[in-house]
């Protein structure tokens, strides 16, 4: 197993930072920033299981976000299901979809895996874009939020709901942590490093990869359910391939193969995005405020730079700096 002495302090620090931020936050930060961070952190962490551990670079993860969102929307709006039931159903349906798709695609490697996940993701997007029963390109609205009144909590309050989302992200982290530290997680890493050898040892490699694909999809489905509850709205855009690309960027930005790195990546990405798209930040730098409209230019250049010069991401870089006195990391 890889030793990672930085993991626990980082998580504790991140949790404390989020708690402090949540405590002192205003309406906007609760409603937009913290909620988005929690939702995308869940997505990015689940994608990290695929990218950083199993070595499966998916460019279609948003498809499962979309499926989860539409399942919750459909069940609550059309059938009147309580949200508490629709949420596990969303994860289940996303997981089942991944089971069907995955039993074909996990055989492919490298660039073909990227292309096929892109194709399947776009297929889901194209379906929702045209599906009249789900509002086609208009999407659906009026999705309720989880009812926590039996705890005396009102989830319509952004402060309460953002706390729910952050706790859900923490739960996802703990779950994934257990998975990657188990023998199963170790096998995934081994498959990533040398698939042929693991197969020669008698391990059903495809089944292991399929398991990771299904688990990651189920988490994405849960994140989709929470996303649609958060915005009370769902549209096909959730499943568009650029969303998958952005989540992949978050994983790489934070540092793949550590789970917590993906959460840091989601934080960094969204904080930067909101900061760059606010005119005041540019004014503070003494630059023209119209640049706020062009945050994508800065973000895009940053992606290129990160991938080229710091491919191990924020967390990976921190880990390497810490190890400098120890034996050379290989």
**How far, in Å, CA of 148 to CA of 130, rounded?**
34
Interface with another protein, residue 329, by CB under 8 A? no
Select the residue interacting with another protein from 105, 176, 259, 276 (CB under 8 A).
Answer: 105
- Give dist(CA 59, CA 70) in Å, integer: 20
What is the C-alpha to C-alpha distance for residues 137 and 237, in angstroms, rounded to an integer?
8
In the set 111, 142, 324, 330, which binds another protein (CB under 8 A)? 111
> Counting contacts by CB under 8 A, is residue 189 touching another protein?
no
25: left (phi over 0), alpha (psi -120 to 50) or beta: beta
* The one segment of 78-86, 127-135, 194-202, 205-213 that binds another protein by CB under 8 A: 127-135
Shortest distance in whole angstroms from residue 238 CB to another protein: 16
Nearest to 165 by CA among 220, 228, 219, 230: 230
Can you tell me which of 21, 22, 81, 127 binds another protein, judged by CB under 8 A?
127
Handedness of CA 200, 206, 211, 213 (dihedral sign): positive
What is the distance between the alpha carbons of residues 316 and 314, in angstroms, rounded to a whole number? Answer: 6
Q: Does 252 bind another protein (CB under 8 A)?
A: yes
Query: Whose CA is closest to 11, among 215, 254, 183?
Result: 254
Applying CB under 8 A, does 8 fall inside the site for another protein? no
Residue 213, helix vs strand vs coil: helix
Of 140, 136, 156, nearest to 148 by C-alpha is 156
Residue from 25, 99, 118, 153 binding another protein (CB under 8 A)? 118
CB of 165 or CB of 248, closer to another protein: 248
- Counting residues that bind another protein (by CB under 8 A) gives 43
Q: What angle do CA 310, 106, 222 make, to 5 degrees?
A: 75
Query: 234 in helix, strand or coil?
Result: strand
Q: Least separation, in Å, of the C-beta of 135 and another protein?
A: 13
**Per-residue mark of binding to another protein, 261-300 (x: CB under 8 A):** --------------------------------xx-xx-xx
Using the rule CB under 8 A, is 212 a contact of another protein?
no
Q: Does the protein bind another protein through residue 108 (CB under 8 A)?
A: yes
The residue with tokens 């039996």 is 150
| Contact set with another protein (CB under 8 A) | 51, 57, 59, 104-105, 107-108, 110-112, 114-116, 118-120, 122-123, 126-127, 129-132, 241-242, 245, 248-249, 252, 293-294, 296-297, 299-304, 307-308, 311
């Amino acid at each position: 197993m890889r030793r990672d002495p930085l993991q626990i302090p980082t998580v504790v620090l991140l949790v404390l930072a989020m708690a402090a931020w949540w405590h002192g936050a205003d309406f906007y930060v609760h409603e937009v920033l913290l909620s988005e961070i929690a939702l995308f952190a869940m997505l990015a962490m689940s994608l990290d299981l695929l990218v950083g551990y199993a070595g499966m670079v998916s460019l279609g993860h948003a498809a499962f976000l979309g499926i989860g969102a539409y399942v919750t929307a459909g069940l609550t709006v059309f059938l009147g299901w309580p949200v508490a039931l629709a949420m596990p159903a969303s994860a289940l349906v996303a997981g089942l979809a991944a089971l069907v798709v995955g039993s074909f695609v996990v055989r492919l490697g490298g660039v073909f895996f990227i292309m096929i996940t892109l194709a399947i993701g776009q297929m889901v997007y194209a379906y929702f874009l045209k599906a009249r029963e789900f509002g086609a390109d208009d999407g659906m609205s009026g999705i309720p939020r989880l009812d926590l009144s039996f705890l005396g909590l009102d989830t319509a309050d952004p402060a309460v709901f953002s706390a729910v989302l952050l706790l859900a992200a923490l739960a996802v982290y703990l779950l994934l942590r257990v998975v990657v530290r188990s023998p199963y997680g170790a096998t995934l890493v081994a498959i990533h490093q040398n698939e042929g050898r693991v197969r020669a040892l008698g391990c059903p490699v495809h089944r292991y990869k399929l398991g990771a694909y299904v688990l990651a999809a189920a988490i994405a489905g849960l994140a989709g359910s929470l996303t649609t509850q958060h915005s009370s709205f769902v549209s096909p855009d959730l499943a568009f391939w650029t969303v998958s690309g952005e989540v992949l960027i978050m994983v790489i930005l934070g540092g793949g193969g550590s789970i917590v790195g993906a959460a840091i990546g989601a934080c960094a990405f969204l904080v930067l995005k909101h900061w760059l798209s606010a005119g005041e930040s540019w004014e503070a730098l003494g630059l023209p405020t119209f640049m706020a409209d062009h945050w994508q230019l800065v973000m895009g250049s940053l992606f290129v730079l990160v991938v080229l010069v710091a491919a191990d991401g924020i967390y990976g870089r921190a880990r390497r700096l810490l190890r400098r006195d120890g034996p050379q990391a290989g």
